[in-house]
Amino acid sequence: MKSINHLLSQKNKLPIIISGPCSAETEEQLISTAIALKKTIKIDVLRAGIWKPRTKPGSFEGVGTIGLKWLLEAKRQTGFKTTVEVATAKHVEEALKHEVDILWIGARTTANPFAVQDIADSLQGNSKAIVLVKNPINPELMLWEGALERFLKVGITNIGAIHRGFSKYGDSNYRNPPQWQIPIELKQHFPELTLICDPSHICGKRETLFHVAQKAMDLDFDGLMIESHLTPDLAWSDAQQQLTPRDLLILLDKLVIRKGKLSPALTSEIDKLRQKINVLDSDLIDVLSKRMQIVAQLGKYKKANQVQILQPKRWEEILNKSLEEAIEKGVGQDFIRNVLTEIHIESIKLQSKIMNEEEK
């Protein structure tokens, strides 16, 4: 797998910016939006939803193939490359017939290996095809990797990935919480993979788009897919997460793009700080090892005295005390909660193993 940045970027620059309305609504709406985006001089690829997967029938499911004609005309008037979501082999056929440059696989489709395989098979032999694969709805890294591999196996090498967040469980400030560790791990498995972030679907509301877009840039994503509409509040779908072309330009101008290549002086200073982190990481492992040794002693004591493993009141006291310390020391409470929960789970596993060991 190789980077496809040069195939997406208009001027071989980063970040790559993909933008356009969530849905193509009318020919005038789509072409006018494309022209306004062209004036920003920031956009590389024009996107538009043509077929919209919906949970229940009856809601707006896209204008269908007619929208591809409008997209082709917008392409002719602006010179933009174009991209649409495809979910079936028929969609692929129609999109290519209308000179769509880039196909993207939506989250619901990525979750279905049969559907992905059908789309991949429909592109077999098309060495020039460019495909972007969104993460599946649920946080399953192997499912995302598997979708990418299905295209590789039929000879499609121009592939990239789009991170659009994952379904939420419980309260969240995000429409689809990003769970950044998953795309980071994907990139570790495929170092040359072009990785695009979709803040629109992660946020679900325009007020937080910049924060997520900047986070993606700080994590070395190659580009952004952000929805844009001339009159977002009147959009037929996902009105709250779309920006006007003007507001999109303001957001993009605010982004801070960090340095990728460092000077020798900067590298030297960063290496010094990393060495300090390495020492602290080693200390953390040492402390955790000693903690687990005490947990093992505790497990043996509980076994000898027929004491149950889980002590909810004790766990609550530990957690509350640690969260108070986190506030005092400027450490994120959610972070501490997650770390302590993992340690607690591991401690219970160890004690359970000890208490259920047969005596020799």
The percent of residues in the chain predicted with pLDDT above 90, rounded, is 78
User: pLDDT tens for residues 21-74?
Assistant: 999 999 999 999 999 999 999 999 999 999 988 777 878 889 999 999 999 999
CA 129 to centroid of chain Cα atoms: 22
Q: How far apart are the C-alpha atoms of 73 and 149, rounded to whole Å? A: 33
Q: Which of 138, 91, 139, 96 is closest to 115 using CA atoms?
A: 91
Question: Does the structure show a pLDDT above 70 at 209?
Answer: yes
Q: What's the predicted TM-score (pTM) here?
A: 0.78
3 state DSSP class of 192: coil
Q: At what angle do helices 27-39 and 66-78 cross, to 10 degrees?
A: 30
pLDDT of residue 260: 65
Confidence of residue 267 (pLDDT cuts 50, 70, 90): confident
What distance in Å separates the CA atoms of residue 37 and residue 21, rounded to the nearest whole number? 11
Count, in order, helices (H) and strands (E) of the chain: 14, 8
Neighbouring C-alpha atoms within 13 Å toward the C-beta of 347: 21
Dihedral of the alpha carbons of 190, 162, 84, 230, in degrees to the nearest 10: -150
pLDDT for the residue numbered 92: 97
Alpha-carbon distance 210 to 128, whole Å? 33
Tokens (6 digits) for 104: 């993207």
- Give the model's pLDDT for residue 259: 66
CB atoms within 10 A of CB 331: 14
H helices of 124-194, in order, are 141-153, 181-189
Report pLDDT for 262.
63
Burial class (CB in 10 A: 0-12, 13-18, 19+), 244: middle
Neighbour count for residue 154 (Cβ, 10 Å): 16
d(CA 135, CA 144): 5
Report the C-alpha gap between 152 and 282 in whole angstroms: 39
Going 303 to 308 to 314 to 316, the CA torsion angle's sign is positive
Higher pLDDT pick, 273 / 252: 252
Q: Is 48 exposed, middle or buried (0-12, 13-18, 19+ CB in 10 A)?
A: buried
Q: What is the pLDDT of residues 271-325, one digit of tens each?
A: 888 888 988 998 999 999 999 999 999 999 988 998 888 888 888 898 999 999 9
For Cα atoms 333, 334, 335, give the angle at the middle one, nearest 5 degrees.
Answer: 90
Beta bridge partners, 106, equal none
Q: At 217, is the pLDDT very low, low, confident or very high (cuts 50, 70, 90)? A: very high
CATH superfamily of 264-355: Chorismate mutase (1.20.59.10)
- CATH fold of 5-254 reads TIM Barrel (3.20.20)
Domain ranges of the chain: 5-254, 264-355
Is the pLDDT at 7 greater than 80? The verdict is yes
**pLDDT per residue over 167-199, tens digit each?**
988 788 999 999 999 999 999 999 999 999 999
CB 1 within 8 A of CB 159: yes
